[in-house]
A and B are shown apart, each in its own frame.
Chain A
Amino acid sequence: MRHLSKLVKLWAFLGIGITLGTVAFIFLFIFYEGASVISPSFILESPSGAILGTEGGIFPAIIGSLFFTGTAVAMSAPAAVAAAAYITFFCKNDRMKVVLHSVINTISGIPSIVLGLFAYSFLVKSLGLGRCILSSGTALAVMILPFIEIRAEKAFGELSEEMIRSSDALGCSRTYMFLKIALPSCKRELISAVILGGCYAMGATPPLIFTGAVAYASVPESIFEPAMALPMHLYLLVAQGATSMDTAYGTAFVMLALILILTIIARALGGFRK
């Protein structure tokens, strides 16, 4: 009896210990190892060196990542928010809601590598866009669509039912209600959802590998050309082995820092978990 209590207690402390320890370890490890690599030139210069990436910086990869992410968010956010609004406010048919929910669930279950395959076949080959930011951005957009939709729907769902019915009772259309009440009062949560979706897209590699991210490119000027991306760059540096480990730490540092900052902003906007 006593032993069981102790055993469970040990298990509990072990579980939380491992979890929090891992979080702390990952961030401290990357920040500690990466900090010595970070310098203005690392952030603001292009990669160079006999084996690419052993010297120089990662500027094109940072800008490239912003391009990929921006494209994905621009394509995904309107569709995701519209779907959430449709389900919450406009759809009067319950069966339709079920269908929409299962469509969104199914999309969220598609592995990101398969989305890469899709974008390659559809955009790179069939539409003839070639490897470019738009091709990858589309794959990323599909990937983050359910992510944003779920959060937007949750935000809309928290509006009080009576408030919506009061607007109906005044004879106002749902469109008017959505624009005047729902959007303004969920603004922060929506922005937060979009930023988090952006973080998710920024860290994803599989959809980019063969659709638009390349080992070396200069800073992109349009979404119709290929570009470098931080996660892809990190992968290539690691794959090259020991020679480029320093820059790999630096790249990981920049990615984690970017994502951490954006996450904190998003959390501050959306309020901590309710």
Chain B
Amino acid sequence: MRYLQDRIFSFLICAFTALSFVSLLFVIYFIVREAMPLFSEVSPGEFIFGDRWMPIGYTGEPSFGIFNFIAATAAVSFLAIIIALFISIGAASFLCLCTGEGTREGIYSVIDLLAGIPSVVYGFIGIVVLLRIFFRVGVHTGSCVLAASILLSIMLLPVLISSCCESMLRARDEYLLPIKALGVSEWYGLATVIIPASWKNILLAVIPAVGRAMGETMAVMMVIGNANLFPSLLGKSETIPAVIALEMGTAVSGSTHYHALYGAGLVLMVMLFVINTAISILRRRLSRI
């Protein structure tokens, strides 16, 4: 009796666990299935490196090239990471040297509130605050790549601060006493020893955030202006998730346009997969050294 119950329960656990596999397989299958028809009409090279996105042929031939979207996705994420890293290392330095365990936990949980804010709210605040500032400064309509990056960088702060802080705390515990014993100010020690010592770990912890940044839809879409242009700091552009979110509603199911949007989704997924794989290889390499 007991034995039977155990078997049934273990089986249930396995079955539910299998759902994770199944859902991953299903996602990949359906994205690939819907993307494939595209490539019978547009070659992958043309799709990835073409910069004309003309889903419906109002003026001339329809054309499907997502190069600018790819570039914008990469540019916005990269810039966001740089900004976020700058703020995070500063904040982590503060948390390392100026706070005790208790205060730090308190500040952490305040910062964590940022992670709970929905991205559409970030987009909303971006429009009513950031874009107005950019507009006043002279950017046409205010929408631009930089605005999107700033917004995105704020969204990345909770993850980045906690991983920066974690590696810096480890370095601090190792080096701070010797630094103080030399009579050097702790801030000087932080800049010359602790930050350089934790640099590698910070970088490794940070790169996964690229993935999150590249997949972000709402906040970026609401402030980037959504024009098919090659990204420039104060110019409009459009990312892959934004294209999908904006055009999926109007694309006729089964049309080339529809398949092209799945194609764009597939490209995004492959980009993220490549990045994640590269990181895990890199991490294994570095941890071996």
* Seed contacts A8-B190, A103-B21, A206-B245; 7 additional CB < 8 Å A-B pairs: A12-B90, A15-B92, A19-B161, A109-B211, A117-B261, A118-B26, A267-B109
Interface of A is mostly: helix
Other-chain residue from B19, B26, B111, B188 in contact with A79 (beta carbon distance below 8 A): B19
With contacts A113-B217, A113-B265 known, is A83 near B16, CB below 8 A? yes
A23 to B248 alpha-carbon distance, docked (Å)? 33
Contacting residues, chain A, for B19 (C-beta < 8 A): 79, 82-83
Query: Do A23 and B113 contact each other (CB < 8 Å), given the known contacts A12-B98, A113-B244?
Result: yes
A104 contacts the other chain (CB 8 A): yes
Nearest-neighbour CB distance to chain B for A164, whole angstroms, equals 15
In the assembled complex, the Cα of A81 lies from the Cα of B17 at a distance in Å of 8
Closest to A87 in B: B17
Main secondary structure of the interface of B (DSSP, over half): helix
CB distance from A108 to the nearest CB of B (A): 9
Query: Is A29 positioned at the interface, with any CB of B under 8 Å from its CB?
Result: yes
- In the assembled complex, 15 residue pairs joining A and B whose CB atoms fall closer than 8 Å, in A order, are A8-B188, A11-B93, A12-B91, A14-B90, A15-B87, A18-B87, A82-B16, A111-B241, A111-B269, A114-B31, A115-B27, A176-B6, A209-B245, A231-B118, A256-B117
- Interface range on chain B (Cβ under 8 Å from partner): 35 or more
**Interface residue? A216 (CB, 8 A):** no
A175 touches B127 (CB 8 A): no
Cα(A260)–Cα(B110), bound, Å = 11
Q: Report the separation of the CA atoms of residues A132 and B129 in the bound assembly, to the nearest whole angstrom.
A: 34
Contact yes or no, B121 A114, CB < 8 A: no
* Cβ contacts B113-132/A at 8 Å (1 or 0 each): 11011111101110111000
**CB-defined interface of A78-97 with B at 8 Å, one 1/0 digit per residue?**
11011101110010000000
Contact B191 A13 (CB under 8 A): no
Chain A contact patch, size range: 35 or more
Q: How far is the CA of A30 from the CA of B124 in the complex (A)?
A: 10
- Within 8 Å of chain A (Cβ to Cβ): is B203? no
Q: A23-B110, A109-B272 are in contact. Are A205 and B218 (CB under 8 A)?
A: yes
The answer for the CA separation of A260 and B114 in the assembled complex, in Å, is 10
Smallest distance from the beta carbon of A127 to chain B beta carbons, Å? Answer: 11
- Can you list the 10 inter-chain pairs with the closest CB atoms, starting with the nearest? A15-B90, A203-B118, A111-B215, A82-B16, A15-B91, A12-B93, A16-B94, A12-B94, A5-B187, A79-B19
**Number of A-B residue pairs with CB-CB distance less than 8 Å in the complex they form:** 252
Give CA–CA (A128, B98) in the complex, Å.
58
Check B30 against A118 for contact (C-beta < 8 Å). yes
**If the complex has contacts A5-B188, A27-B113, A209-B245, are A145 and B23 also in contact, measured as CB distance less than 8 A?**
yes
> Are A114 and B268 closer than 8 Å at their CB atoms?
yes
In chain B, positions 40-94 with a C-beta closer than 8 Å to chain A are: 86-94
| Interfacial chain A residues near B188, Cβ < 8 Å | 1, 4-5, 8
B110-160 with Cβ < 8 A to chain A: 110-111, 113-114, 116-121, 123-125, 127-129, 154, 157
Which one, B7-15, B170-178, B228-236, is touching chain A?
A: B7-15
Cβ of A35 < 8 Å from any Cβ of B?
no
Contacts of A82 in B (CB 8 A): 12-13, 15-17, 19
Contact between A272 and B217 (Cβ–Cβ < 8 Å)? Answer: no
A86 to B20, CA, bound (A): 12
Asked if residues B118 and A142 are in contact (CB atoms below 8 Å), the reply is: no
Q: Is B183 an interface residue (CB 8 A)?
A: no
A125 interface residue, CB < 8 Å from B? yes
Given A9-B187, A206-B245, CB of A16 within 8 Å of CB of B90: yes
Residues of B in contact with A (beta carbons under 8 Å apart) = 2, 5-6, 9-10, 12-17, 19-21, 23-24, 26-27, 30-31, 33-34, 86-95, 97-98, 105, 107-111, 113-114, 116-121, 123-125, 127-129, 154, 157, 161, 185, 187-188, 190-192, 211, 214-218, 222, 241, 244-245, 248-249, 253, 261-262, 265, 268-269, 272-273, 276
B275 to A, closest residue via Cβ: A109
* Chain B contacts for A210, CB-based, 8 A: 248-249
Checking B20, B216, B245 against A107 with a beta-carbon cut-off of 8 angstroms, the contacting residue is B20
CA distance A20 to B157 in the complex (A): 11
Given contacts A203-B118, A252-B124, A259-B117, whether A83 and B265 have CB atoms under 8 Å apart is no
Verify A85–B261 contact, CB threshold 8 A: no
Given that A111-B215, A118-B26, A118-B30 are known contacts, is A234 also in contact with B120, CB under 8 Å in the complex?
A: yes
Is A159 close to B, CB under 8 A? no
Q: How far is the CA of A273 from the CA of B162 in the complex (A)?
A: 12
Residues of chain B within 8 A (CB-CB) of A27 are 113
In the bound complex, do residue A273 and residue B268 qualify as a contact, i.e. CB atoms below 8 Å apart? no
Q: Does A72 sit within 8 A of B, measured CB to CB?
A: no
Find out whether the CB atom of A100 lies under 8 angstroms from the CB atom of B94: no
- Given the known interface contacts A19-B161, A203-B119, A272-B105, the answer about A100 and B17 at a Cβ–Cβ threshold of 8 Å is yes
In the docked arrangement, what's the CA distance between A209 and B217, Å? Answer: 11
